Structure 1
Amino acid sequence: MMNSKWGYGAVYVVLIMMQVQVDGDKNNQQCCNWEGVKCSNVTGHVVKLDLHANDLHVTVATISPSLGELHRLNYLDLSGIVFEHTPSIPPFIASLTHLRYLNLSFCFSNGKIPPQLGNLLFLEYLDLGNSVFDHPQQIPSQFANLSRLVYLDLSGNELVGGLSHLTNMSSLRYLDLSDNSLEGTIPPQLGNLLSLEHLDLRSNGLSGTIPNHFRNLSGLQYLYISHYFYEEKMLLSSDLEWLSQLSSLRHLSLRLVNLSSASNWQLQDASLPWLMNSIGASLVILLMNDNDLTGTIPETFGENLRSLERLILANNELKGQIPASLFRISSLTELDLSENRFTGIIPDLSRLSSLQFLKLDNNRLNGAIHEGIGQLSNLTVLSLGNNLFRGLISEAHFSRLTSLSLLDLSHNTLVFNVSDKWIPPFSLISINLAYCNLGPSFPRWLHTQNMIDRLDISHAGISSTGPIPAFLSTASQVFVSNNKFQH
């Protein structure tokens, strides 16, 4: 006797690998009590199968064609199951014409997207993310029929070609096409999808400009666009002034796009007015790294970004001082300005109580590192290497850094001034203190770090009379050159 105590594995075997004989048969309703199965209280038909794998992929031999006999099914979720002997998404799924929800993400490792899915005219939710890897293929033209779609995820596949088949999905709110090989220009008609709230075009081969028609997407909250090759950046020749119309925008990612060739693309003066008005006030995430941005950041930059949680402007050509207004955004959890040409000192950062990631490495910052950094109890990554910092590093710099796992202060002129009895509050995984003065004896506090995977203390002024400490043998990478270890 099968009952609701059976696990998902039993449900897979009975409903997918065997012949299902329950659709509409009121005398054979025991499967309606199984976990993941829902039947209509009126007709007894199976209307919902939610058999998704949670964290682990569950391997199942095949999908039986009998699944196509569940004609009243309106919800099917098989996500995360690896169907090893099913060559592709079975076309017979398109016979389930009552489907409103279909999730086959992370299911298949080859095959093609069957164009017959375009027959599911009532479909509102379709997720085929990370399912099709056989060979490059285009988005089926039949998808143009899916005018009721609200959610469409085709990310992480080998899709090529353009986006023209998606431009009449007027109900669409969520569209994820990231991590494919889509090419050509972005069709202006995407700007007619007025219900769109989430648009992700990251890691494709799209070129040309972002259409000005995007100004019509007043409800857009998430916009992600990037190229998949650093050497072949997407060209943006427009000034993107239309962004000022997107007053609901919360997440903006423009990465690996050639902004330096666009007119008015310097982060200085009033050249980005769309960022300094209503859009800036609503932004939670701003990612504009790897774009060859030049100029300085205006002093008022942080004053309007009151809700910002992540700011990444890494790997650009920005210069001048980092405006103090940035260090007053108390909501920041990540600040990455690494690999630019910033100069000047870093003020007291103790107000940034939510900060988890701070990366200012590979700039030209100077002066002493303020002890207030030691108050950032949520900090997990502190990367200040390859700058011109000078002065002492004391225990106060780390007093409350209980969550720290990565520390990089390398290639500065810094001297560690801590007690031999000091026990740090953290357990580091990666330590890079190359060219810091840690000597003359081997730092005792390093003996407390039993989770080290990578350690670089080369050129650290250490003169030790013993061998390299044995506790470092568990680390996968250890660099201790240009010190004096005497056996």
Structure 2
Amino acid sequence: MLSNQFFQLRPVLLLLFLCFLSLISFSKSSELNSLLQFKSAVQNPDTNHVFSSWTQANSLCNFTGIACNSNGLVREINLPQQNLHGILPFDSICSLQSLEKLSLGSNFLYGTITEDLKNCTSLQHLDLGLNKFSGKVPDLSPLSKLEYLNLNNSGFSGPFPWRSLENLTSLTFLSLGDNFFEPSTFPVEVFKLEKLYWLYLSNCSLTGPIPEGLGNLTQLINLELSCNQLTGEIPADIGKLKNLWQLELYKNSLTGKLPVGFGNLTSLENLDMSRNNLQGSISEVRFLTNIVSLQLFENQFTGEVPEEIGGFKNLSNFSLYRNKFTGPLPQKLGSLADFFYIDVAENFLTGPIPPDMCKNGIMIALIVMQNKFTGGIPESYANCLSLIRLRVNNNSLSGVVPAGIWSLPNLSIFDLSMNQFEGPVASNVGNAKSLAQLFLNNNHFSGELPLAISKASSLVSLKLSSNQFSGQIPETIGRLKTLGNIYLDENMFSGYIPDSLGSCVSLSEINLSGNKLSGNIPASLGHLPNLNSLNLSNNELSGEIPTSLSSLRLTLLDLSNNQLIGHIPDSLSILAFSTSFNGNPGLCSQNLKHFQPCSSGSTSTRSHLGTLVSCLIAGAVILLLVLVCCLCVKLRHKNLDSPLKSNSWDMKPYHILTFTEKEIIDGIKNENQIGKGGSGNVYRVELTDGKELAVKHIWISDSGDRKNWQSSSAILTKRNIRSAEFEAEVATLSSVRHINVVKLYCSITSEDSNLLVYEYLPNGSLWDRLHNCSRKMEMGWEVRYEIALGAARGLEYLHHGCDRPVIHRDVKSSNILLDGDWKPKIADFGLAKIVQATGGDWTHVIAGTLGYMAPEYAYTYKVNEKSDVYSFGVVLLELVMGKRPIEPEFGENKDIVDWVRSKISNKESVLDLVDSTISEALKEDAIKVMRIAVHCTSKLPSLRPSMRMVVQMLEEAEPCKLTNIIVNKECQNSSNESLKNTGKIGALEFESKIY
């Protein structure tokens, strides 16, 4: 009976089976089409790209990056780090009904995430981190099966759908950091995700306190909340997270003490709570015996460093700088571990330096400066061959430096300044082949400087000031080709200044004052191409001042209180150096009134006769010019409606043109005028095809501007200047091709007018957008940063990218124009100068704009690219502060640079200097650029960076980017793929201080 029933059902079962196979076949065909749509939307530019296997000839389960389930349907798309570009087709992706894993992290995908994502209801693993998306994150509630969610550093913005997390109770991994979300309070929805072992919410605009409830997440091994605006105290229930391996809370505004029970986090290996306002003792830390990296710098912690820390067997990175710690360091510190570095600078620590921190021979930095340490440098550090930085300055250390330290092969910075050390510099210092900075100033060192110091071939800075060194300066010192500055002042050096010093071609500063040096000033010093500061005062130097010094670009010169005789070179007899020669009764000068005139009768007579002849010639020329100008006034054209007179024009194109000379000339009308400068007007000309151009009309004749010029010679002078401006602008821009330099299409000239035809930039100048009430708009920091970086790249090209460097000489916010996308372009090259092979840095016209001009303009005609750098630094200050270069609040005779420096020197809150319209979340990023601005506006040109370096610094100052090369983690992007790869190496050095 059953057998008969089976035979009767068999056709039905067979039909159902065939339907199932047909359905599977249809599903596979559909999924194949979905994957091919994915392939067509997302490209890989590599030759042997990942999609080479994605063809209809292959089974989709054999596609690279694809995994299938037992039914042959797509279970995984796994293509991280494949250099993929394009917009994801979520409609196709989410039609893969069995898709459980979508891993596309670390690519270059862009566009938005569409609402189609909600159809991926089977997803358990979603990784879109480290891409270039934009827009908001859609509601994630439908993805209830998600266990792994990584959207880290993918460009998302707007409000994040925090409430949707309530439905994702299966999540174990959540990484949303480094995105531009709208500020929100801490999402309490996270506390319901009790299966989480990884939570990364750094740098995603969280504000306010961390509420109680954090203790619910007992499975956490990693908790990162850094780079937000979190306030208040660390919640007490954090002590429940006993599995925590890494805790990062740095760069917030947290206050209060470490909560009682914090010591329960005994699994912690990486702890970073730096850059907050935490206070009180760190006694709870004594229980964290597994700590590897301990970063507590830049807080308000007090009390002593717990003795128990000295017994930590794994501690390798230890930073406590800029706190208020007192008492000694544990003397066993580092003796039981592979200790890597210590930085406890700027505290009030006392006692000796622990002796065994380099016991295992891998320590790279010993930084204990600005404390109250006593005793000497332990002898054990003479064997620390791995040491790169040794900074113990500003303490009360004494004794003789162990001989072996002087020759450490990897030591780069050796700073013993402002202590009470004594004894000589060891003769083995020449073996320190990596030594770049040697600072011994303000100690009691004595003896002669060993000849072997000239073998320390990497030396860049040598500061031995205020010691008791004696003997001669080694003649072999000229071998130090990388030496940038040498300070031997306030010692007892004697003998001659070695002539070989002139072979140190990188020198920018020399200070040998306050010694017993004798003999002549070597003429070779005048051939140092970068020398900026020369101080030889208070010695026993004799002979004449070498005329070679006249060729130097000096901003500081002091030869006072010596025994010099003879003529002070005319080029040095200027107001800036008026006191530089005092105390040399044998000197004479024709220009400096407080010196006796040089006696040369015949020369004097010829000089007076020459002066008389010159005056007669000048008078005749002036008379002739007056007659010519009177004739010109009678012949002047009466109709002023059109600025142009001539009908004969010469047009020179510098790009392929789509317009005619007539179109331009017809557009030069009063109603089209959009600006006016000292040399002419600017007009907006609309072509017949709708394209807009900017035309600069540089006057040659004196028409329209005569009332400002009183004499014929003045008219001629201005006419010559205008002609020079026109020639400078054409010479500069005709060959320049750069996205951040305004494009010059052509020049059109006649006998009385010069026209320059530029691209038209609709958003006007940066000055207008920052300061002009009628056009002012609030620019977010991201826009300001991009303007700063783009303008810097334009100047970098002018200085370093042209065949011969171009000095702009009038960098200011009104000469930075903005296109329709707010991209900046350097403009107005009327004062620009192309540097010639020789002598190209001389100018006899004071060029620039008050408030932007570098200080060297006040006393010398020698200018170079560093003058542009100064002016650009002022522009950066405008962008950060939103203030003009000269404001009444700065005070009389003060500009924005003076004002900023006075505020910083008084240690007022630097944050208060930032424009109030910049969001609080980005003010720290603005301060990074302020640091660069202060660097650019150094008084000494030699201390200013090059524009190439400025661009590099600005790139590193990108909002919330990892900026410290070796150690300090700043808004770090976590890879989240390796649990052991996110601990920081540590803080080998402070950030560059503003003050």
Q: TM-score, normalised by structure 1?
A: 0.74
Matched, 1:341 2:431: no
How far 1:346 moved relative to its partner? Answer: 0.8
Paired residues of 1:36 and 1:50 also in contact (CA < 8 A): no
Structure 2: gaps (5+ residues): 1-39, 43-83, 88-105, 134-144, 561-579, 582-586, 592-995
Structure 1 Cα separation of the partners of residues 430 and 437 of structure 2 = 14
Q: 2:225 aligns to what? A: 128
Paired residues of 1:23 and 1:45 also in contact (CA < 8 A): no
Q: 1:363 aligns to what? A: 443
Q: Equivalent residue of 1:223, what SS? A: strand
String of CA shifts for 1:66-113, please: whole Å, max 9, x gaps.
69559347252533x555x42455555556655544444455485444
Q: Equivalent residue of 2:149, what SS? A: strand
Partner residue of 1:459 out of 506, 521, 537: 537
How far 1:397 moved relative to its partner? Answer: 1.9
Matched, 1:234 2:339: no
How far 1:242 moved relative to its partner? Answer: 4.5
The amino acid across from 1:64 in the alignment is F
Structure 2 Cα separation of the partners of residues 446 and 142 of structure 1 = 69
Q: Equivalent residue of 1:243, what SS? A: coil
Q: 1:210 aligns to what? A: 305
CA shift in 2, pair 1:77/1:441, >3 Å: farther
How far 1:172 moved relative to its partner? Answer: 1.0
Q: 1:14 aligns to what? A: 112
How far 1:174 moved relative to its partner? Answer: 0.7
Partner residue of 1:417 out of 485, 498, 503: 498
Structure 1 Cα separation of the partners of residues 162 and 456 of structure 2 = 58
Q: 2:765 aligns to what? A: none
The amino acid across from 1:366 in the alignment is S
CA shift in 2, pair 1:333/1:444, >3 Å: same
String of CA shifts for 1:205-256, please: whole Å, max 9, x gaps.
322332233355211112233453xxxx4222x6734537634333233434
String of CA shifts for 1:340-369, please: whole Å, max 9, x gaps.
112222122011122233211111212222
Paired residues of 1:276 and 1:304 also in contact (CA < 8 A): no
The amino acid across from 2:396 in the alignment is E
CA shift in 2, pair 1:30/1:149, >3 Å: closer
Q: Equivalent residue of 1:144, what SS? A: helix
Q: 1:40 aligns to what? A: none
Partner residue of 2:265 out of 165, 169, 174: 169
Q: 2:402 aligns to what? A: 323
Structure 2 Cα separation of the partners of residues 203 and 159 of structure 1 = 12
Q: 1:144 aligns to what? A: 239
Q: Equivalent residue of 1:320, what SS? A: strand
Structure 2 Cα separation of the partners of residues 447 and 104 of structure 1 = 57
Structure 2 Cα separation of the partners of residues 315 and 33 of structure 1 = 46
Structure 1 Cα separation of the partners of residues 535 and 476 of structure 2 = 21
How far 1:33 moved relative to its partner? Answer: 11
The amino acid across from 1:149 in the alignment is L
How far 1:197 moved relative to its partner? Answer: 0.7
Partner residue of 1:249 out of 339, 354, 359: 339
Structure 1 Cα separation of the partners of residues 224 and 443 of structure 2 = 42
Structure 1 Cα separation of the partners of residues 361 and 162 of structure 2 = 53
Paired residues of 2:305 and 2:325 also in contact (CA < 8 A): no
Structure 1 Cα separation of the partners of residues 306 and 193 of structure 2 = 37
Q: 1:390 aligns to what? A: 470
Q: Equivalent residue of 1:293, what SS? A: strand
Q: 1:48 aligns to what? A: 150
Matched, 1:472 2:548: no
Q: 1:74 aligns to what? A: 173
Matches within 5 A, 1:85-164: 85-88=182-185, 90-92=187-189, 99-108=196-205, 111-113=208-210, 115=212, 118-132=215-229, 137-164=232-259
How far 1:384 moved relative to its partner? Answer: 1.7
How far 1:173 moved relative to its partner? Answer: 0.6
Structure 1 Cα separation of the partners of residues 160 and 360 of structure 2 = 52
Q: 1:64 aligns to what? A: 160
Q: Equivalent residue of 1:311, what SS? A: strand
Q: Which one is further off, 87-96 or 301-310?
A: 87-96
Which of the pair is proportionally richer in helix? 2
Q: Which one is further off, 374-383 or 106-115?
A: 106-115
Structure 2 Cα separation of the partners of residues 410 and 221 of structure 1 = 40
Q: TM-score, normalised by structure 2?
A: 0.39
What's the Cα RMSD here?
4.2
Paired residues of 1:458 and 1:480 also in contact (CA < 8 A): yes
String of CA shifts for 1:358-416, please: whole Å, max 9, x gaps.
211111212222232222233333222222223433562241443x4443333334453
Q: Equivalent residue of 1:214, what SS? A: helix
CA shift in 2, pair 1:246/1:430, >3 Å: farther
Q: 1:314 aligns to what? A: 393
CA shift in 2, pair 1:390/1:242, >3 Å: closer
Q: Equivalent residue of 2:435, what SS? A: coil
The amino acid across from 1:51 in the alignment is N
How far 1:336 moved relative to its partner? Answer: 1.4
- Number of paired residues? 444
String of CA shifts for 1:137-186, please: whole Å, max 9, x gaps.
21122433333322222223322222235322222111122233222222
Q: 2:870 aligns to what? A: none
How far 1:5 moved relative to its partner? Answer: 0.7
Q: 1:55 aligns to what? A: none
Partner residue of 1:288 out of 363, 368, 391: 368
How far 1:194 moved relative to its partner? Answer: 2.6
Q: Equivalent residue of 1:367, what SS? A: strand
Q: 1:185 aligns to what? A: 281
Paired residues of 1:302 and 1:329 also in contact (CA < 8 A): no
Paired residues of 1:301 and 1:325 also in contact (CA < 8 A): no
Structure 1 Cα separation of the partners of residues 41 and 208 of structure 2 = 34
Paired residues of 1:370 and 1:397 also in contact (CA < 8 A): no
Q: 2:900 aligns to what? A: none
Structure 2 Cα separation of the partners of residues 50 and 65 of structure 1 = 15
How far 1:199 moved relative to its partner? Answer: 1.1
How far 1:304 moved relative to its partner? Answer: 4.8
Paired residues of 2:250 and 2:275 also in contact (CA < 8 A): yes
How far 1:337 moved relative to its partner? Answer: 1.0
Matched, 1:332 2:411: yes
Q: Equivalent residue of 2:277, what SS? A: coil
Identity %: 24
Partner residue of 1:354 out of 427, 434, 438: 434
Structure 1 Cα separation of the partners of residues 247 and 504 of structure 2 = 48
Q: 2:294 aligns to what? A: 199
Q: Equivalent residue of 1:159, what SS? A: strand
Structure 2 Cα separation of the partners of residues 100 and 438 of structure 1 = 73
Q: 2:712 aligns to what? A: none
Structure 1 Cα separation of the partners of residues 151 and 443 of structure 2 = 54
Structure 2 Cα separation of the partners of residues 33 and 381 of structure 1 = 44
Matches within 5 A, 1:421-432: 422-425=502-505, 427-428=506-507, 431-432=510-511
Structure 1: gaps (5+ residues): 38-42, 53-57
Structure 1 Cα separation of the partners of residues 157 and 129 of structure 2 = 24
Paired residues of 2:447 and 2:470 also in contact (CA < 8 A): yes
CA shift in 2, pair 1:244/1:26, >3 Å: closer
